[in-house]
Amino acid sequence: MAMEIARTWAEDAKRRVGERVRLKGWVHTVRELGKLVFVVLRDRTGTVQCKIKGQKELAKGLDEETAVELIGAVVEDPRAPDGVEVDVEEVRILAKPVEPPPLQINRSLDVIGMRLETILDHRALSLRHPEIGSVFKVRAELIWAFREFLRQQGFLEVQTPKIVAAGTEGGTALFPVQYFERTAYLAQSPQFYKQMLVGAGYERVFEVGPVYRAEEHNTTRHLNEYISLDYEMGFIDSFYEITQLETELLRFMMEHVARACPRELEIYKAEVPEVPKSIPHLRLDEAVQILKERYDKRCEGDLDPEGEKLLCEYAKARWGSEFVFVTHYPRAKRPMYAMPNEEDPTLTNSFDLLFRGLEITTGGQRIHDYHMLVESIRSRGLDPKDFEFYLEIFKYGMPPHGGLAIGAERLTAQLLGLPNVRQASFFPRDRHRLVP
Amino acid sequence: MAMEIARTWAEDAKRRVGERVRLKGWVHTVRELGKLVFVVLRDRTGTVQCKIKGQKELAKGLDEETAVELIGAVVEDPRAPDGVEVDVEEVRILAKPVEPPPLQINRSLDVIGMRLETILDHRALSLRHPEIGSVFKVRAELIWAFREFLRQQGFLEVQTPKIVAAGTEGGTALFPVQYFERTAYLAQSPQFYKQMLVGAGYERVFEVGPVYRAEEHNTTRHLNEYISLDYEMGFIDSFYEITQLETELLRFMMEHVARACPRELEIYKAEVPEVPKSIPHLRLDEAVQILKERYDKRCEGDLDPEGEKLLCEYAKARWGSEFVFVTHYPRAKRPMYAMPNEEDPTLTNSFDLLFRGLEITTGGQRIHDYHMLVESIRSRGLDPKDFEFYLEIFKYGMPPHGGLAIGAERLTAQLLGLPNVRQASFFPRDRHRLVP
């Protein structure tokens, strides 16, 4: 099946009536009906009904989840799920289960009920379940579209080190690594490096890579290792260029995933959001005011998860947008590299993007002036000497720039309506989970 | 310039004669000639000559490497490098260097001479040098083509954890990570996880991600953190499917890079190799015999760097191929998951690929039978209990499979003829280098 059937069996089958095919996959279900044995074979493209007539010995050992090769002729049969099935002539068993699987792959999750912990404990096996594994086809297409759009916009794909000498935010929430005789850390973000590469002359760079947060909280929205979709762009006139590019990027990604993953979206009953021509922008102080006045909800200087949900409700009702930018966070809430706002220097030219009640992006304009950056580092009680490797390029004509990061797991989870971000991570790492 | 000029100035300029343009970039060179000041502006797409006539005050502060915006009209001038130049009307300085740069960006590396250590110490700045920074356009196109080809072949892109509980090879050369109260490790390769995802029903997966080797040796061919291009495919009939797919993949990658990077290849005087329809395969014992007989070179059970070089000379002379597969390594030289050869079980269905004298790929068929794999783990003195997270999926119908990994830095370096693999890493990590 792997090599022989294009996208899905159903799409391709009618054309193949009369052909003799060699299908490879897993035994999804087996059902005896008098002299017939129906075997539904499953591969990465879907399922196909196969029929063993008479020669019941062929069906011997075809337990569920056996890896198998079936050879036979494609025949029309109006009773078959796709109107076609395979009359099996030969069976070759590739690998038999050594014991019955602890999870049932061929029944709806609603029917069998399964805790997320169980699913994650048996991660590789659970991914065979179409309701579980399809998440990652959507995720892969979102990531493909992220890259494709940015390539078209002249961005260079980069890969920056994950073993670093110092943290982006100055030392909190870092995982230490024993790097020969020294202690190093896992990068919290490619922040410093993507900025340095803008200054290195590439002007526009993006990266898809892992980031690490040694945060203790174990919530449905946090992972200690996740995939960050980063971009950074130089020679900007204002930070609205960054939010505008993200708007176009998200539209491209959503339109692509709607085209590429209709079956997967259907499994999750997911609606692909319409990305407005211009996503509404709210200043944080406006947002806090709205929450207080309309929802009697108090947020002090930042939004909490409930605040994010309510603000998305508001944006949906007022502008019909499932996305909303919250801008102008105070300097105290942002890292030392955040660009202060020209009109009110207690604020920054920064933003978060909320989507269906969850923050999926943090971004902003960065300080590009060397002296201002050194001053900002000092004002946080940090020592510019510790950041020399980062600061150097700022001495030699660093253009105005900014960028953002999108959490791949959060974006996927929000799009598909998954209640826990772990469901969009192949092998999640959290406060307690280090295996599989 | 960033937004306004397509691929290169030279390609686009003639069409723009008469237009008023807004160019952004860095001051590459400044030259006074009587009443004229010539400013060559550099951005990620190349350079363009700009001319300031009369108003010399416009040229004030335009030191080399200043980030600047120039506004002016495109005019024809047969004396200009591209036959066109920009008559500057307005200058806006975006960021002035605070001191002269320690490296000269606008002169040939041959002329200024520069040690690799100096280049890497000032990495972001040195990347502005076209002879240094162009490496990464080639690298990005190679990686793009790797993904594109595999997508076309039905592979799913995956991202697997880099924080792991156990090493692939059983505990050597691992960097320890303090993961809350436990000790974890940085992944040496995505080996276990990519196999598990084949068994998870995706059948064919690939990953572009960092891998970590805590090896002490500091050579021109080793990095402690590098980008591994991995794929793994299920339902194979023999391990030659893996080498055949790599052959087609490499042909696709090389043809793509020849089309996408003519200017960059020219900078390095790099010839794109022709990938033969079938890359020659030599068994390791044959290779050792050839080295002994033809070159009086003794290799015991494995090839050393000199052996790899000589074998590539041999393949080039005999078959006209710049690539050669070396196959059938002994079990003792391969990890516990390597599939023993059917005819001689002291050997494995494994291979390395050599390219221009250097190993750029290791791959092979893997054991898919659960009991055989448990036995193989035990035979290495390892405890199958430590590998339960990996072994589980092998209990439930693991298909025959195999795959490989290509080192992105090595492939790039070999293609461009770079003497040190560090030159193909943005921010290399080695025995002594952790910054920038």
Please say whether the beta carbons of B323 and B276 come within 8 A: yes
Please say whether the beta carbons of B401 and B232 come within 8 A: yes
Confidence of residue B36 (pLDDT cuts 50, 70, 90): very high
Task: Using the predicted structure, report yes or no on whether residue A211 has a pLDDT greater than 80.
Answer: yes
pLDDT given at position A113: 79
Local structure of residue B321 (DSSP, 8 states): -
With a cut of 0.90, is the ipTM above it?
yes
pTM for this one? 0.97
Cβ–Cβ contact B292 with A under 8 A = no
- Distance CA(B217)–CA(B430), nearest Å, equals 9
The average confidence (pLDDT) of chain A is 94
| Mean pLDDT across A377-395 | 95
| Mean pLDDT across B281-294 | 97
Residue extents of the structural domains in chain B: 9-95, 134-424
What is the DSSP secondary-structure string of A180-230?
A: TTEEEEE-S-SHHHHHHHIIIII-EEEEEEEEE-------TT--SEEEEEE
Token pair in block for residue A229? 């979709």
> Can you say whether residue B356 is alpha, beta or left, with left for phi > 0 and alpha for psi between -120 and 50 degrees?
left
3-state secondary structure of A265: helix
What is the DSSP secondary-structure string of A324-359?
A: EEEE--BGGGS-TTBPBPSS-TTBBSEEEEEETTEE
Which of A168-182, B71-85, B175-189 is most confident? B175-189
| Mean pLDDT across A46-53 | 93
- Distance CA(A279)–CA(A352), nearest Å, equals 12
**A35: amino acid identity, one letter:** K
| Mean pLDDT across A88-94 | 97
pLDDT given at position A111: 74
pLDDT given at position A110: 78
CATH superfamily of the domain spanning A9-95:
Nucleic acid-binding proteins (2.40.50.140)
Q: Give, in order, the Cα–Cα distances in Å from A368 to each of A160, B95, B349.
A: 20, 8, 54
Task: Using the predicted structure, report yes or no on whether residue A171 has a pLDDT greater than 60.
Answer: no
Please say whether the beta carbons of B223 and B428 come within 8 A: yes
Domain A134-424 annotated CATH 3.30.930.10: yes
Greatest extent of chain A over all pairs of C-alpha atoms, in Å:
84
From the list B43, B68, B389, the residue facing A203 with the nearest CB is B43
Task: Using the predicted structure, report yes or no on whether residue A301 has a pLDDT greater than 90.
Answer: no
To the nearest whole angstrom, how far is the Cα of B342 from the nearest Cα of chain A? Answer: 16
Cβ–Cβ contact B345 with A under 8 A = no
Please say whether the beta carbons of B366 and B350 come within 8 A: no
Task: Kindly state the percentage of chain A with pLDDT values over 90.
Answer: 89
Confidence of residue B195 (pLDDT cuts 50, 70, 90): very high
- Pick from A141, A222, A256, A396 the residue to mutate for testing the B interface (most B CBs within 10 Å): A396
Residues 407-436 of B with CB under 8 A from A: 408, 426-427, 429, 431, 434-436
| Mean pLDDT across B283-294 | 97
To the nearest whole angstrom, how far is the Cα of B172 from the nearest Cα of chain A? Answer: 13
To the nearest whole angstrom, how far is the Cα of A240 from the nearest Cα of chain B? Answer: 15
From chain A, the residues in CB contact with B436 under 8 A are 196, 389-390, 392
Under 8 Å CB-to-CB from A46, ≥6 apart: which residues?
A8, A9, A10, A263
More confident residue, A172 or A95: A95
Task: Using the predicted structure, report yes or no on whether residue B322 has a pLDDT greater than 70.
Answer: yes
Please say whether the beta carbons of A215 and A165 come within 8 A: no
Residues 165-224 of B with CB under 8 A from A: 165, 175-180, 182, 184, 186, 193, 196-197, 199-204, 208-210, 212, 214, 216, 224
Residues 131-150 of B with CB under 8 A from A: 133, 136-137, 140, 143-144
CB contact under 8 A, B212 and A163: yes
pLDDT of B355-404, one tens digit each? 999 999 999 999 999 999 999 999 999 999 999 999 999 999 999 999 99
pLDDT given at position A114: 86
- Pick from B40, B178, B385, B396 the residue to mutate for testing the A interface (most A CBs within 10 Å): B396
pLDDT given at position A285: 96
- Distance CA(B157)–CA(A302), nearest Å, equals 36
- Distance CA(B287)–CA(B326), nearest Å, equals 7
From chain B, the residues in CB contact with A184 under 8 A are 434
Q: Give, in order, the Cα–Cα distances in Å from A341 to each of A238, A245, A366, A380, B380.
A: 11, 20, 11, 18, 62
CB contact under 8 A, A369 and B95: yes
Of A78-92, A347-361, B336-350, the range with the lowest mean pLDDT is: A78-92
pLDDT given at position A300: 81
CB contact under 8 A, A393 and B124: yes
